[in-house]
Amino acid sequence: MSKVVLASSSFTRKKILEDAGLVFSVEVPNVDEQELKGALLFKGASGEDIAGFLAEHKSCIVSTRVPSALVIGADQVLECEGIIYSKPKNLVAAKEQLNTLRGKKHTLISSVVVAEGGKRIWEHTDRSLLHMRKFSDCFLDEYISKQGKSLLDSPGCYQVESAGIQLFTSIEGNHFTILGLPLLPVLHYLRLRGAIAA
């Protein structure tokens, strides 16, 4: 039975796999994601391209260290009106980003790749559509002051699994895609490979 490794420093992705009852280890890929993203954007890459490339890059880097394992890498990109957003650098930038997203629909694109022997052997990309409501300035200030630095962990400055849910009017799409790891397709592939019980 192949060992499963998660190539990620994300607390949420680790929790998703743990909650699902998987046995796996975590290896951090140590990739400068912002730099890579910047270079891809400069070349005119789409949101889907970027999420797919970064998921592949992270899984393959770790896979060269543990070539016999099935290494899961994932990435998520936020796209709103043709613009791709990155994690804000500080709370001032977070407030700007939330102000821009307010009242609009945005898309979360989540890619997941499994690598083996240093190469991508499987991939899946999914999208979800989120409609941010026209919250008041007062709500925004309170939200930022309560959530603090946790806002810097995601390009949308929210976690739907906590108070971030109060930002939304509607959410369409799979919950795990929104969290950043399309789980059901991954489980399906791991079962096909005999890495988890069928």
Work out how close the CB of 188 gets to a second copy at its nearest, in angstroms, rounded to a whole number.
7
Taking Cα atoms as reference points, which of 73, 193, 191 lies closest to residue 124?
73
44 touching a second copy, by CB under 8 A: no
138 touching a second copy, by CB under 8 A: yes
Contact 108, 76 (CB under 8 A): yes
171 touching a second copy, by CB under 8 A: yes
In order of 46, 133, 148, 152, the CA distances from 92 in angstroms are: 27, 20, 11, 10
State which of residues 68, 162, 192, 194 lies at the interface with a second copy (CB under 8 A). Answer: 162
Taking Cα atoms as reference points, which of 122, 134, 124, 189 lies closest to residue 167?
134
- Give the Cβ contact number of residue 105 at 10 Å: 14
149 touching a second copy, by CB under 8 A: no
State which of residues 19, 104, 106, 144 lies at the interface with a second copy (CB under 8 A). Answer: 19
Residues that bind a second copy (CB under 8 A): 19-21, 135-136, 138-139, 142, 146, 161-163, 165-166, 168-171, 174-175, 183-184, 187-188, 196-198
Residues carrying an active site annotation: 75
